């Protein structure tokens, strides 16, 4: 057993989980800030971004060290590659949370407006995707990750519906255009968070099963499909 290497992998895993917690918290706070028009929460999200960025750099640095010094292969190599990609996705989740918080800060200055879009429902769905994608990483379970992929279509539909109804609202009620535009941008931000959660789930499947399921090209096709043609 390579003890130092194993410690490095454990450290990488623990750091990514902390990073995941920060990103998940940022999205939840930003959505709640938008829903409640809560400026204090908005500031918490903006301040939290710094921690996420620092965590991203530390994780990348540790992953580079392990790649350079330990020459990982097979499941360990897949794990480290997956971690570096998940790391990048989590940092972008943090960026989307900041964008949502900025929209909330804009909204606070505007009169309240009833809009035909259910942002809290969409936020709950997206938050669940992020949480489950991280759970699939914690548990190392591809089945949990697979369930996240299936949730992405639901969020995509929510965003499409939000776009249609909000554009219609802007045409019919020009006085709430800014509020509708904010809602439309938040819907887009949430849809992007869902895309990052999907990426995380795909990376977990890559780590656990060694299968590349991205872009629906060849679902569940293992890497380097065994071939006997040259034998």
Partner 1 sequence: MGVGIKVDKLNAWFGKTQALYDITMDAPANHATAIIGPSGCGKSTFVRCLNRMHETVPDARAAGRVQIGELDVYNGTSAVQIRRRIGMVFQKPNPFPTMSIYDNVAAGLKLNGFHDHKRLDEIVERSLKLSALWDEVKDSLRKKSGASLSGGQQQRLCIARALAVEPQVLLMDEPCSALDPISTGKIEELIFQLKEKFTIVIVTHNMQQASRVAEFTGFFLLGKLIELDKTEKIFTTPSDKRTEDYITGRFG
Question: Closer CB to partner 1, residue 126 or residue 208?
Answer: 208
In the complex with partner 1, the residue whose CB is nearer, 76 or 202, is 76
Give the shortest CB-73-to-partner 1 separation in angstroms: 5
Minimum CB separation of residue 48 from partner 1 in Å reads 36
Compute the distance between CA of residue 73 and CA of residue 185 in angstroms, rounded to an integer.
42
Helices (H), the chain: 3-36, 39-70, 74-108, 119-139, 142-172, 177-209
Nearer to partner 1, 174 or 222 (CB): 222
Tokens read off for 45:
């999200």
Measured CA to CA, the distance from residue 228 to residue 208 in angstroms comes to: 25
Site residues for partner 1 per CB under 8 A:
1-2, 5, 71-78, 210, 222-224, 226-227, 230-231
**Axis crossing angle, helix 74-108 with helix 177-209, rounded to the nearest 10:** 170
Residue 82: CB minimum distance to partner 1, A? 12
Question: Cα separation of 231 and 212, whole Å?
Answer: 25
Residue nearer to partner 1 on the CB measure, 9 or 90: 9
Residue 225 Cβ vs partner 1, minimum distance, rounded to whole Å: 8
């Amino acid at each position: 057993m390579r003890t130092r290497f194993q410690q490095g992998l454990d450290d990488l895993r623990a750091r990514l989980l902390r990073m995941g917690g920060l990103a998940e918290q940022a999205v939840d706070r930003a959505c709640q800030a938008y829903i409640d028009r809560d400026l204090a929460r908005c500031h918490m999200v903006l301040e939290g971004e710094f921690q996420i960025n620092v965590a991203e750099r530390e994780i990348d640095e540790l992953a580079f060290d392990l790649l350079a010094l330990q020459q990982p292969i097979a499941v360990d190599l897949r794990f480290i590659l997956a971690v570096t990609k998940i790391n990048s996705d989590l940092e972008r989740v943090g960026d989307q949370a900041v964008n949502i918080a900025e929209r909330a800060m804009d909204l606070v200055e505007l009169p309240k407006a009833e809009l035909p879009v259910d942002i809290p429902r969409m936020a709950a769905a997206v938050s669940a995707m992020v949480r489950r994608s991280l759970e699939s990483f914690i548990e190392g379970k591809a089945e949990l990750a697979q369930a996240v992929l299936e949730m992405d279509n639901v969020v995509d539909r929510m965003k499409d519906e939000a776009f249609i109804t909000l554009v219609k609202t802007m045409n019919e009620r020009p006085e709430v255009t800014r509020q509708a535009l904010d809602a439309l941008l938040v819907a887009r931000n949430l849809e992007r968070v869902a895309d990052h959660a999907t990426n995380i789930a795909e990376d977990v499947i890559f780590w656990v099963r060694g299968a590349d399921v991205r872009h629906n090209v060849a679902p569940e096709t293992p890497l380097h499909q065994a071939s006997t043609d040259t034998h």
